[in-house]
Chains A and B, each alone.
Chain A
Amino acid sequence: MDLSNTHMLDDAVVTTKIDAVVNWGREASLWPFVFGTACCAIEFMATAASRYDISRFGAEVLRFSPRHADLLVVAGTVSYKQAPILKQIYDQMPEPKWVIAVGACASTGGFYDNYTTLQGIDEIVPVDVYVAGCPPRPEAILDAVLDIQRQLKREESFEVRNTEFKGKLDDV
């Protein structure tokens, strides 16, 4: 089909659902904010670098302000000292937003079952995808991005998610 002919679709009408169109757009242009704290952040660097190349999945526009991002990638151990910062970053992100917990520490605290490590970031912010590994291979992080894309396709595009979530720091 020759699309150079701009008049070809002049009278055409395409019917679809608004959710399908919006989600189709969102799916291929996730803007991640990387909250990289430890070893997993080094593997995220590898994921973003040319060999694994996260841009193949439309998620290469790494934002360094949470206000520009819609995908929070928590890569690394989060300590109790860091928890309020993580919450502040999450709160600053506009809706809709998704969260990936990369690695054992972010998911559950990992083998740091001790006085200083938060036992999973889901105590503070809602998590959509957990990635196993210590640290996970870059392929696993890419798989998590694909997982988010699959999830968001099924969602209602104008609904505010996770309204019922209550984290440990939400009352204070």
Chain B
Amino acid sequence: MMSNFIMIDALEIFQTIKDAKEKDGFTFLLDITCIDNLHKKYPASTRFELVYILRHSEFKETKIFKVAVVDEEVGVESISSLFDSADWAEREVYDQYGINFENHKMLKRLLNHMEFEGHPLRKDYEITKGQYCTTSQDMMDEMKPLLKDRELDMQKDDLMIVNLGPSHPASHGTIRTLAALDGEKIVAAASEVGYLHRGFEKSCENHNYNQIIPYTDRLNYCSALMNNIAFAKTVEEMMDITLPDRGIFIRVILAELSRVIDHLVCLAAGLLDMGGQTNYWYLFNPRNDAYDFLSKLTGARLTNSYMRIGGMTHDLYDGWQSDLEDVLTKIDFGITESLKMITHNRIYNDRIQDISPVSSKQAISYGFTGPNLRASGVAYDLRFAKPHYYYDTFDFDMVVGSVGDTYDRMMVRFEEMNESMKIIKQAVKRMPSGDINVNDRRITMPKKSCVYGGIEDMMNQFMLVTDGVKVPEGEHYGAFEAANGELGFYIVSDGSGTPYKVKVRPPSFYHMSAYPKIIENYQVADAIMTLGSLNIIAGEMDR
């Protein structure tokens, strides 16, 4: 099953998307990306094609628009005035592919450094051609228009410009925010990302599908298994295969456990930033117990690489139920103890209530997904909107906040952990027996004993390792409700074992693009808490 797309003319792009938004109700811009057709076997009409992925306001329907770019220097009209999320998305396309967007306010590099020459995701850019960077940019080109818009002057208003990051203990990775301060209050801010840009998408074009699994681990490294599952599921959708039930239940259990771990790390670090060190121990230590379980199962604590296209490496071990139950008990204890300390704690409540609220309308325009969107009161969760993996048969609730402030974002995560544990407990009870992998020798590996014993299985293994899993030609956008929000993969296949193009739709990227706007008019200390509550994971954001 491949995604359908609608071709539109480059000149009509703005009007078509405006109509889709205003008349048809496609109010949510998921992602913008580009395809370089240079190495396509059957060339398209133009070298570059832009892809716009939109979602309906009721979250059931997804629409993909494709635009043939006649001249990349001239480019197409920017849609950043329609969607706030388009701002950074277009900048990224410009940076990686060199497509111009007319009427974009600040079209400059986003992920690569300012001394970078060329556009790395073009097919004629060599993958290993690195370029040294000697200095950092001062970012005043972004700050000055911001101050001008607000009719502020550095001297007259006695403003101070400070850098939060890139190397800052509370920046949770390397993220830089340049803030103009009036006393303690932030009056204007601009963020710089890309410090952890590791070339995920270019690497994907040079590896076969199963080799990409370890790369996906390192997108959101706090919930690596979930990225494995999201990627494998997208490829499986392209190949029209479904796992046997046991495989699906294992995936559900591990995905939900990863969600719990991710939220634990987010809340532990967030509370630590606030000075709640005891909360940190209560939340962080059960995570270690969960890692013990995962390393027993997969062999690694953090980067598990447990999934494969069409299943997973091996079955659960004997006695996994009691280990998992033990982990859940400890996590439950940690959450309970931590909540005891903060629920009625005035310092906690006063510091984060009504800080950086994001209204539901804003959240959709910024492209928020996951707990951050639900905190703003939008009841949207892919597990409900597009039930897959039997999620509709589990008894659990969607956690929705009210005003979308820092408090809501944190408390939604606390509650979601309980819901995830509910799902795990039900899945353990319902765990069927049987196969875990798709029984198709073109997709999954034969048993090792058979590889050493028979010529057919040996050849099978050889072909799968050298050529990889062959995915039919086509394009597909697949999404999964990951811990941070909608983790999507837009994959273009040319029928070989290596993807022609992979684009990740990272939830954190869009959360971060809103960050400098939502911290405005709050204090520096509030900004730190807001960053913690958004749970920005640099690996996923910068890819």
Contact = CB atoms under 8 A, between A and B. Distances in A.
A77 B539 CA distance: 9
Interface residues of B, number: 48
A81 B281 contact: no
Interface string A110-147: 01111111110000000000000011010000000000
A139 to B, nearest CB: 11
Given A49-B281, A84-B134, A114 B218 contact: no
A38 B280 CA distance: 20
A20 interface: no
B80 to A, nearest CB: 24
A6 interface: no
A82 B134 contact: no
B132 A114 contact: no
A114 B127 contact: yes
A41 B128 CA distance: 25
Contact of A35 (B131, B167, B301): B167
A81 B195 contact: yes
A22 B197 CA distance: 42
B218 A80 contact: no
A64 B142 CA distance: 27
A82 B539 contact: no
Interface string A136-167: 01000000000000000000000000000000
A168 interface: yes
B173 interface: yes
Contacts of B120: 115-116
Interface string B213-229: 01100100110000000
Interface in B92-129: 111-113, 120, 125-129
Interface string B168-203: 110001100000000000000000001111110011
A96 interface: no
B81 interface: no
A168 B131 CA distance: 11
Contacts of B269: 45
Contacts of A83: 132-133
A18 interface: no
A38 B538 contact: yes
Contacts of A114: 127-128, 130, 198-199, 202-203
Contacts of B281: 49-50
B198 A112 contact: yes
Given A38-B538, A39-B539, A42-B221, A116 B136 contact: no
B288 A85 contact: no
A172 interface: yes
A93 interface: no
A169 interface: yes
Given A37-B173, A51-B288, A79 B131 contact: no
B321 to A, nearest CB: 24
B303 interface: yes
A43 interface: yes
Interface string B503-543: 00000000000000000000000000000000000110000
A113 B198 CA distance: 9
B45 to A, nearest CB: 28
A38 B303 contact: no
B136 A85 contact: yes
Nearest to B539: A38
Contacts of B132: 80, 83, 168-169
Contacts of B64: none
A54 B113 CA distance: 35
Contacts of A39: 218, 221, 302-303, 539
A116 B109 CA distance: 14
A46 interface: yes
The 8 closest A-B pairs by CB, nearest first: A114-B199, A39-B221, A81-B113, A64-B169, A172-B134, A116-B199, A80-B133, A115-B120
Given A38-B538, A45-B284, A85-B136, 11 more contacts: A37-B538, A38-B221, A38-B539, A39-B303, A45-B265, A46-B284, A49-B280, A82-B166, A85-B174, A113-B128, A135-B302
18 contacts: A37-B195, A38-B196, A39-B539, A41-B173, A45-B284, A46-B291, A64-B169, A77-B196, A80-B132, A82-B196, A84-B136, A111-B215, A113-B127, A115-B120, A115-B125, A115-B131, A168-B132, A172-B134
Interface of B: 111-113, 120, 125-136, 166-169, 173-174, 194-199, 202-203, 214-215, 218, 221-222, 265, 269, 280-281, 284-285, 288, 291, 301-303, 538-539
